[in-house]
Structures are given as C-alpha cells and as structure tokens.
Amino acid sequence: HQSDSITISEEHRGQVELGTIEYFHSENMNAVFTENHLWRGIFGLIFWDIVFDPALVSFHHPFQRRPSDLYLPDFYEKRKDIIISHLESFQDIQDLLTYMGERYESKFGIANPFVVWLEEIWLMVRKAVEVIEFEALKKILHEMSKNLVENLRGFPDLFVWDDKNYTFVEVKSPTDNLSNQQLYWLQFFEEVGINSKVLRVFWEEK
C-alpha cells in the first residue's frame, strides 16, 4: 500500500496490465507482459538437458511431455548436484545466452512444460538475461528448481526497461492484494539484487 501508483483510463478495467503497458509506452519505456512465462522459459531452456535426461528418470512413451517425477518432492534432491554444477559451468551472461540460444534453435517446437514456442518469448528471455546481474539470475534459477510446484508461479506481471534501467513490475488494481507467492518472489528479488516493485493502479475520474 506504500508502493508507487499511476492513474489510467477506466477502459482498462479487467485488463489492468494492458493499460499499464500503454502507460509505460507513453513514458518512452519498453514494457511487456511476462508474468510466469518469461521465467519458465529461461528455466526450461537452461535446464532442458537435465529435465529430460533419461538417465535420471524413465520416459514411458514417445509422446511423454515431461519426466514422471517433475512435480514430486524428490525432483530437486535427485538432481541437486547436477543443477548446481550446471549453473556454475557458465562463465558469464554471454556464455549463458549462447547456450540458451542453441537450445531454442535446436529444440524449437518440441513439447516442453516450461517453454512457450513464440518468437516474442525468446526476445523477452534474451533481453531479460542481458540486463539481470549474472549471479542474481543463477540464484533465481536455483531457487525455482527447489520446488517446481510453488516456485514456477508468482512472478511479477511486467518486464519494463529502457536504455539505462529495467524493473519487474507487479501490477495491482485498487482492490487487489499480493498473494503469498508474489510476496515471496518480490522479497527474494530484493535479497539478490533484481530490480522489482509493486505498482498500484487507480482509475481516472470522469
């Protein structure tokens, strides 16, 4: 309730994120709706080989979209050392982007529970990875991997940036409040140094 606020047209009732994007565009800033799709896409591309490694879990038929233990409690414990080693294997952001780009190109269209195969998804993923501090990004990905039931949701609604700065924005209308998972990620972002905030949206009075 102490967050920044803006006022937008009442025509955006029911689609408050769209109205907020238009507001940022009017301020000469780039803004896209990302919510969970952006972070799930980053996760899916970076951990593709680990998630679908047949040496770690059985795949029972050729059309199986995900490993059978994906949302079970031992998913992380079974892969903990591999996940940590994999994240540490990247030297810098460019190394990470190269790896993700190769996975995007070679795996495009293959069913994955994390990646939505749209061109704009890769554009958003690439831009976000370019601007987020390297060690902070790795901490977010590690935290996501610990609990795929809870930690793949609750991310901020919008990704906003210009030539100098970026932020992840959780948009709230006058009657809306933060869920526990949204608060969890906002606090975690603050701890690791990722720019994020809550933005309260009010309606223009006629």
Neighbours of 7 (CB within 10 A): 12
Please report, as a single letter, which amino acid is at residue 154: G
- Each residue's pLDDT tens digit, 40-76: 999 999 999 998 887 766 555 555 667 777 888 788 9
Residue 147 pLDDT > 90, yes or no? yes
- Sheet strands side by side (includes 196-203): 4-8, 196-203, 166-172, 158-161, 30-33
- Each residue's pLDDT tens digit, 85-111: 999 999 999 999 999 999 999 999 888
**Phi-psi category of residue 28: left, alpha or beta, with phi > 0 → left and psi -120 to 50 → alpha:** left
Pairing of strands 30-33, 4-8: unpaired
pTM of structure: 0.91
